[in-house]
Chains A and B, each alone.
Chain A
Amino acid sequence: NAGVTQTPKFQVLKTGQSMTLQCAQDMNHEYMSWYRQDPGMGLRLIHYSVGAGITDQGEVPNGYNVSRSTTEDFPLRLLSAAPSQTSVYFCASSYSRGMNYGYTFGSGTRLTVV
């Protein structure tokens, strides 16, 4: 039982490059989300999805794109990397209904944009 798997763990990009951060979960969770973590700012929501084919914007969506073609996968795309996108990125998943709302987080991707 792998939980939430994020790849890569570390990445260095040059300004203007694009890349995709991968996220996969094997718990059949309907809800998936992407957060970025910056010092003193906590976890800020980038995009989220309540099920396959359904995505929506969070608090800081600019410069990022997502899609959800399957229940298991929720990739995050950086369209044209900027130094302001240097951060640690976390993917999380959970059930959407019932009483169990606890998130399972991946181990994160540390991204540096130079």
Chain B
Amino acid sequence: QQQVKQSPQSLIVQKGGISIINCAYENTAFDYFPWYQQFPGKGPALLIAIRPDVSEKKEGRFTISFNKSAKQFSLHIMDSQPGDSATYFCAAKGKTGGGNKLTFGTGTQLKVEL
């Protein structure tokens, strides 16, 4: 079953615009929420991550916003660039058991146009 729901499936943004990708989770026992970036032919790479005791985390042009009560978190890419064109996955880690097991969303294909 899908415990992390991601939207949209695809997104086209103009260069310099803001890209926003949303995720919602059902399991309140998650305690770590990372985002991964994947370029064609490559494995996913960790982009940024947040814990539920923080409402926002910013690293350069990338920001995670976290709403614990709504069980939602989102990735904002400011000043989007063509080099940001990639597939983005949100994920969530359970608090107990399973070691470091992550549940992933279905991914968002982002295209940044000139």
Q: List residues of chain A with CB under 8 Å of any chain B CB.
A: 4, 30-31, 33, 35, 40-45, 48-50, 56, 58, 90, 92, 94-96, 101-108
Q: List residues of chain B with CB under 8 Å of any chain A CB.
A: 6, 9, 32, 34, 36, 41-46, 49, 89, 93, 98-107
Given A40-B9, A43-B44, the answer on whether A96 and B99 have CB atoms closer than 8 Å is: yes
Given A90-B43, A90-B44, A106-B43, the answer on whether A50 and B106 have CB atoms closer than 8 Å is: no
- List, in ascending order, chain B residues with CB within 8 A of A102's CB: 34, 46, 49
Bound-state CA distance A92–B98 (Å) is 14
12 contacts between A and B (CB under 8 A): A42-B89, A43-B44, A45-B102, A48-B98, A50-B98, A50-B100, A58-B101, A92-B43, A103-B46, A105-B44, A108-B41, A108-B43
